[in-house]
Amino acid sequence: MSIYTLQSLAGGFLDEDLEHFNKFFDDWCIQFESYDEAKDIVETLANPETIDIVEITPLTYPKYFFSTLKGTIYTTRQIEDKIICVVEPYMGSSFKIAVCDLKTKRVKLSKTSYKSIPSVEGAFASFTSE
């Protein structure tokens, strides 16, 4: 379920018009099913040396797939059609478990807050699909 996209070395993702870079990855950004397809397009652009080909997967980059997920993501795993993440919503806050649904693109944060990494690790490890 990986996709490939084009990212400027300065940040931002190339838009479908192949001229502008969006700050955030969204549906308007150009996407490819393979690295080779992306490479073929990069070679046709002006200044290809300033553009990276980036692989995005739901497990490694859940923020790209779930725009409502905010904060720092520490770990992820997939259970059926959901991505489960340990997230710190903002610096210094308590940890939460986020359940990201791949089908609906909805994110649900746990009501429980975890003050430390060991406490959230236990909950994360025993988390099961509902």
| Residue whose C-alpha is closest to residue 3's, from 54, 40, 50, 51 | 54
* pLDDT band at residue 46 using 50, 70 and 90 as cut-offs: confident
Contact 100, 87 (CB under 8 A): no
pLDDT in tens, 80-111: 888 999 999 888 899 999 999 988 889 999 99
Contact 13, 5 (CB under 8 A): yes
* pLDDT band at residue 31 using 50, 70 and 90 as cut-offs: very high
Mean pLDDT (whole number) for 45-52:
91
Contact 72, 84 (CB under 8 A): no
Which of these ranges, 37-41, 61-65, 102-106, 108-112, has the smallest mean pLDDT?
Answer: 61-65
Q: Supply the pTM of this predicted model.
A: 0.68
Q: Which residue's structure tokens are 């993501």?
A: 73
Residue 2: predicted pLDDT: 83
pLDDT at 129 over 70: no
